[in-house]
Homo-oligomer: A and B are copies of this chain.
Amino acid sequence: MTVDQPSPACALILAGGSGTRFWPLSRQQRPKQLLGLMGKESLLQGTVQRLEPLVQSERVFYSTTTALSELVEADLSVVQIGPAEDFKRRILAEPMGRNTLPAIAWSVDVIARAIQSESEAGADPVIVVLPSDHYVTEPEAFKQALAVAIAEAESNARIVTLGVPPRWAETGYGYLELTTKVDQLGVYAVERFTEKPDEEHATAFVAGGRHLWNAGIFVFRASVFVERMREFQPEILDLVEELGSVLEDASSETSERRGEIYAQMPNVSIDFGLMEHLTDIAAVPLECGWNDLGSWDALVAVLEPDEAGNFARGDTLAVSASNNLLFADEGTIAVVGVDDLVVVRTKDSVLVVKRGNAQSVRDVIAALRDAQREDLL
């Protein structure tokens, strides 16, 4: 294989998150990406399977934290094909969480070295970076858009994003401003990347028809990412290079030394730290029923209601009750004469909250922290 021939794409799945928005189902030791919110399959497992056949499973890498790496490994053992040793090596555990940009920068370096050691030196793989805890209702449409993005990243030296046509004026997402209106699937030039706009801007973005939600999926050649980092985040790149040289030394102090270096990383997301600075981004519209499952409320959008209009998972019984989300992870939920509630039952807990107000589960988390209820966190 020569440098000019495209090597098969790699993927980096970001599986280090530790959100609490799906409490009581999600816990410190059971983060969202490991939950079977949509079935038996975890969101992480679904993410891996959604990449096939565009990215072979032996070319999928995982970024996670030391605290979660064993759980991630156990979860992946269900879907990973090939020698166990090999897939475990592809789980890249950060010594500590430093947000997405350091994790991606370090992982891209590890992936590039791994590919170069396997194939010809100088190989410059296309890498698909994506979250592990999102869901799409139409995986085929996802694959189609991703194929377009990979082809674009192979042939042009820019970062390609997958962008979701906005469905409401969400202020928690990033927005990709296209130079033209979206009229079909394909590659669009991005004029500007705006992370978490205020409500006024978000509303204008949605009305204008030229913006897409950033779905957190980035596709690029390793070399293109490194060039952009050299320009906008050189200190992160320097630390990544230091990490690389430490790794080559397999002495017992490696782990400690890595921690010291990693601790110097700035805590910054790829959105604020890199994407907002770039002026040469491409975007491929993604119309595949994408949902980042940001809360119990969001889950309703991807579940089918039953005859009574309830969204039910597990063993549930609704009498004269409608528009409820009933999620029984273990045991039975029975509701009578109540509407518009979220009721979640796990082995040890129950949450009851009004629909539309599920974000306030963070208040429960705060109260549990105050009460030092580590058993429930």
Contact = CB atoms under 8 A, between A and B. Distances in A.
Contacts of A350: 328, 331-334, 343, 345, 350
A367 B332 contact: no
Given A317-B368, A368-B317, A361 B349 contact: no
A360 B337 contact: yes
Interface in A324-377: 328, 331-338, 341, 343, 345, 347-354, 357, 360-361, 363-364, 367-368, 371, 376
B336 A351 contact: yes
**Tier of interface size on chain A:** 20 to 34
A184 interface: no
A319 interface: yes
Mostly helix, strand, loop or mixed at chain A's interface?
Answer: strand
Given A317-B368, A360-B320, A332 B348 contact: yes
A24 interface: yes
Contacts of A338: 341, 352-354
A317 B364 contact: yes
A348 B363 CA distance: 26
Contacts of A343: 350, 352
A336 B353 contact: yes
A48 to B, nearest CB: 33
A328 B24 CA distance: 15
